[in-house]
Amino acid sequence: MTMHKDVKSALNKQITMEFHSSSIYLAMAADFFAKNLPGFGQWMLVQAGEETGHGMKIFRYVIERGETVELEAIEAPPKAWTSPLEAFRAALAHERKVSASIHALTELAREKKDHAAEIFLQWFETEQVEEEANADAVVKKLELGKDFPGTVPMLDQELGRRKKD
């Protein structure tokens, strides 16, 4: 089934958004490594890899549908964050933006009666619930422990155990 041009365009924009997400998390990883927080850095490296995977999943889908992938410029990420809490709050806010973008894509696919694309997007809807929950869990731990000097080193140990799925 030929893809409606609006659906094709929105999927292409979503590929770029996923690569942009990857770039933001790579920048956060770099900032954490520079600040001697290798566990936070490792968590962000795994996250960046996941985002590249999301972009590639859509990339392959657009091709499978017989359409052309059109990549756009990826905006440069910030270079530094003032604290792990600020970085994770920014990550959570970003994931909420990504979720809103996926919701809009699902709505568009439905509106254009592209049932296959709508079903394809269900995986991303579910994934975004997990992405928001993951970032939110770290925000909450950092907030809860913000008055204790041991919180950041302890979380650095914990987050450093995150492995590539």
**Residues in contact with Mg ion by the rule CB under 5 A:** 18, 51, 54
Dist. CA 101–CA 52, nearest whole Å: 17
3-class SS at 75?
Answer: coil
Point out the residue whose Cβ comes nearest to Mg ion: 54
Decide: 138 and 159 in contact? Cβ < 8 Å: yes
Complex with Mg ion: residue 2 or 126, whichever CB lies closer = 126
CB of 80 to Mg ion, least distance (A): 23
Q: Which one, 11 or 152, has the nearer CB to Mg ion?
A: 11
Helix axes 38-64, 5-34, angle to 10 degrees: 160
N-to-C CA span, the chain: 33
Residue 63 to residue 7: CA distance in whole angstroms: 13
C-beta of 151: minimal distance to Mg ion in Å?
27
What is the smallest separation between the CB atom of 98 and Mg ion, expressed in angstroms? 6
Cβ pair 124, 102 in contact under 8 A: yes
- Whose Cβ is closer to Mg ion: residue 89's or residue 156's? 89
Q: Name the minimum Å distance from CB 25 to Mg ion.
A: 10
Nearer to Mg ion, 51 or 118 (CB): 51
